[in-house]
Structure 1
Amino acid sequence: MLHSPWRADFPALAAFDTEHQIYLDNAATAQKPQAMLDALAAYYHGGVANVHRAGHGPAARATGAFEFSRVKVARWLNAPGPANIVFTPGATSALNLLAYGLEHEFKPGEQIVISALEHHANLLPWQRLAERRGLQLVVLPLLTNGVVDLDAARLLIGPGTRLLAISQLSNVLGVWQPLPELLAMARQHGALTVVDGAQGAVHGRNDVQAIGCDFYALSSHKVYGPDGVGVLYGKTDAWARLRHWQFGGEMVRAADYHTADFHPAPLGFEAGTPPIAGVIGLGASLDYLQSQDPNALNTHEATLHAALLNGLAARPTVRVLGQPQTALATFVVKGVHHADLATLLSEQGVAVRAGQHCAMPLFKHLGVAGAVRVSLAMYNDGADLVRFFDALDQSLAVLT
């Protein structure tokens, strides 16, 4: 049976074991390694202070740790440097920052292009921007396997396209999107490119220079870091095109009663007191991830995912949505409501997600009212899948 050598690094799993609970909702949020918890405790026990605001010892220590995390994030993303990294309250906030900060770039009738599989966080900010500016919101269709239809995309991305916003990995279908082809189409017409990396970043495709996008957003809590923290990477020339959106302390370079001048990125887009402890904790989580063998992680993840898909395929009433490639599977069962199934699984100590997964338009497109999602992390193992399939079979025996 497949064992995870990383389970002992995540203390929450010991608590779950005591509760006879297994956790298979990692696409929503991941458990935290001891290294991250130690970093948070060290910061709080050692004495807190605000950053960038004072010259005393505690402030200098906090600022140094905060900015060192920016360096760590830049290295992890292979960004040119820390000045390309802005911290936000989450990936959703990062995408909203772009939708407001870039608003002046658009003229009525121009196009924003998204795909039919987007999470609400990468749909609604652009939908609202299109309404505010009189823009066309163009939706790229999908093939039956859940991948954006590139032939259709070539027809829909054109001279009027000013921005392409696309998820790297679908949180519902678990399918990697063809970013090289899509981004090349957008660049051909001079459009900005935004990649929602909230699901993809934790699965090894987090090299922003290789991806080649103008902006890349991710959430700390999905990469084993604290919640309430997001990262927005931007190319230097792309940051220069943003106007400041939120205003307050420390983002201002000079202010009078009637005028003000603002810092460029990164500080100019981090108004107010940032999530200091969370950023430091994120740095510790990335240190932990980078200390692991990436080949071992990828092999473990792929083997576990294959076992999940094989087990679902062996149950004839189960239908998996799309053709998932990484870390998750979203499925429906004929004649069974997804909420009922998730409730019975939960009663047996199996934590999964049920519903429309913040992707209502996608579910309408698929003709499905909702679905159950199982999502995996580095600490899951074969025993978790045995528990899941035992609970699934018992639930189906009751519901079908």
Structure 2
Amino acid sequence: MINTVFDILTIRKDFPILNRKVNGEALVYLDNAATSQTPKMVIDAIVDYYSRYNSNIHRGVHSLSQEATEMYEEARLKIQKHFNASKSHEIIFTPGTTYGINLVANGFSALLNKGDEIIVSALEHHSNIVPWQMLCERTGAVLKVIPMDLDGKLVMDEYHNLLNPKTKLVFCNHVSNALGTINPIKEIITAAHKVGAAVLIDGAQAAPHIKADVQQLDADFYVVSGHKMCGPTGVGILYGKEEWLNKLPPYQGGGEMIAEVTFEKTTYADLPHKFEAGTPNISGGIAFGAALDYMNTIGFDAIAQYEDELLKYATDQLLTIEGLKIYGTSSEKTAVVSFNIEGIHPYDIGSILDKLGIAVRTGHHCAQPIMDFYKIPGTVRASFSFYNTKEEIDVLVAGVKRAKAMLT
């Protein structure tokens, strides 16, 4: 049974965009893995900031600055509580997941030596591949890859074989954006720590569905984007253990991240400000906190249970279409279905679905190595959120059938 608080009709009323039409048809938004939609209370938080207390933070003695600072730091505390970080200064506000990954990669440039090894998984988004390739080019470190199988799962025996005393860093997403696979990150982290390696988990796709406890996971770093979690674009967080954040040098220089500046020498501020140079996305940080309030009011257990029902229903209904193949068939996955129809390019299906008001993602989903593994150009990806319905899935299935009929 779904939590009685979980009322899909009431929830949908919270999202103004769900009322609009696209190409004359009611919007069916199934591109949540790219960006989730934003509830009115989060939109109101942004409007409230700019309407009542728009001001720069931390530096001003006047009332508006103090109000903005209080709200921004309150959002940091909400995020700390949500992810169960032990200290608020272990939460670094960033422009998003990609920025957080690059911040860590830049910092490790000073900590790696030629011949050191770093490990990524075959299921990564480009943003968790390219920065580490660049890091290897700068340092002479060697990049190793955990392979995947046809179900879209990591081959964990091979991962354990890759680990050795030269392994310094391991990077893995919590959930694959292209396939929805939930990776065994607790096992990955525990094994890496046994050889002395640090671990960064890309939580961008997991955070909307799974309430990660960074202390229980023992993650060294965990990165998230607000726009995947009903928040605004342009804001996210990097969680880092205090000991690791203190070891890394600042990523950018400028205001706020300094303790003292002279032309002879600059000293840096304590955490978290050491990594938060310049004026941040203040309204975005506050709104991210509001988004977490909203999702926690619904409850992540209820969200997960409902989305799992949507996933099973969508999988069953789509598989009734002859010639349709689903990629990513792990028993442990979030509400993502990536599929193709034999003989039809995914872009063509996506284009027809758009004409019917159905928003899906097509292409390689910034995960080209996965597509190369399956020897396909890309997939059609339908990704569901807790505000979607089975009726919308029925519209999707009918749309795919119509696209198939038009293209064959």
Query: Above 0.5 in TM-score?
Result: yes
Displacement after TM superposition at 1:240 (Å)? 1.3
Match of 2:148 in 1: 142
1:332 to 340, 357, 365: 340
SS of 1:64's equivalent in the other structure is: helix
SS in 2 for 1:36: helix
What's 1:186 paired with? 192
Whether 1:4 and 2:34 are equivalent positions in the alignment is no
- The match for 1:373 among 373, 378, 381 is 381
Aligned to 1:78: 84
Tell me the equivalent position of 1:116.
Answer: 122
CA-CA distance at 1:332 after TM superposition: 1.2
- What corresponds to 1:267 in structure 2? 273
d(CA) in 2 for partners of 1:191 and 1:105?
A: 12
Q: In the TM superposition, what is the alpha-carbon distance from 1:211 to its structure 2 partner?
A: 1.6
Q: What SS does the aligned partner of 1:104 have?
A: coil
Cα distance in 2 between the residues matched to 1:345 and 1:184: 43
User: 2:53, 2:67 within 8 Å by CA — same for their partners in 1?
Assistant: no
**Aligned mates of 2:255, 2:194 — CA distance in 1:** 39
Is the 8 Å Cα contact of residues 118 and 143 (structure 2) preserved in structure 1? yes
- Write the distance in 1 (CA, Å) between the matches of 2:295 and 2:148: 33
How far did 1:36 drift? Answer: 0.3
Task: Select 1:393's aligned residue among 392, 398, 401.
Answer: 401
Matched, 1:106 2:112: yes
Deviations 1:122-160 (A, max 9, x none): 111001000111110001101222121111111111111
Distance (whole Å) between structure 1 residues aligned to residue 184 and residue 301 of structure 2: 22
Which residue in the other structure is 2:237 paired with?
231
Contact in 2 for aligned 1:102/1:241 (Cα 8 Å)? no
The answer on whether the counterparts of 2:204 and 2:228 sit within 8 Å (CA) in structure 1 is yes
Match of 1:314 among 320, 344, 356: 320
Deviation at 1:35, TM superposition (A): 1.1
3-state SS of the aligned residue for 2:277? coil
Aligned to 1:105, the other structure's residue is in SS state coil
Whole-Å Cα distance in 1 between the matches of residues 184 and 210 of structure 2?
16
> How far has the Cα of 1:117 moved from its partner?
1.1
Deviations 1:323-367 (A, max 9, x none): 152111111111001111110111111100000000112211221
Instruction: String of CA shifts for 1:26-75, please: whole Å, max 9, x gaps.
Output: 00001001110111111111031001111100000000000000000001
1:15 to 9, 20, 43: 20
**2:117 equivalent to 1:132:** no
Q: Give the letter for the 2:113 counterpart.
A: K
The one-letter code matched in structure 2 to 1:4 is I
When normalised by structure 1's length, the TM-score is 0.97
| Amino acid paired to 2:41 | A
The answer on whether the counterparts of 1:114 and 1:137 sit within 8 Å (CA) in structure 2 is yes
Q: Secondary structure at the match of 1:201?
A: coil
The 2-side partners of 1:255 and 1:305 are apart by: 54
Provide the rounded CA distance (Å) in 2 between the counterparts of 1:223 and 1:181: 25
The gaps in structure 2 that reach 5 residues or longer are none
Shift of 1:19: 4.8
C-alpha RMSD over aligned residues:
1.4
Amino acid in the other structure paired with 2:379: A
> What's the secondary structure of 1:240's corresponding residue?
helix
User: Is 2:53 the partner of 1:47?
Assistant: yes
TM-score, length basis structure 2: 0.95
- SS of 2:247's partner is coil
Residue identity in the other structure for 1:257: F
State the distance in 2 between where 1:108 and 1:332 align: 42
Q: What is the number of residues matched between the two proteins?
A: 399
- Aligned to 2:72, what secondary structure does the other structure show? helix
The runs of 5 or more residues in structure 1 that have no matched partner are none
Query: Alpha-carbon deviation of 1:9?
Result: 1.2
Q: Percent identity?
A: 37
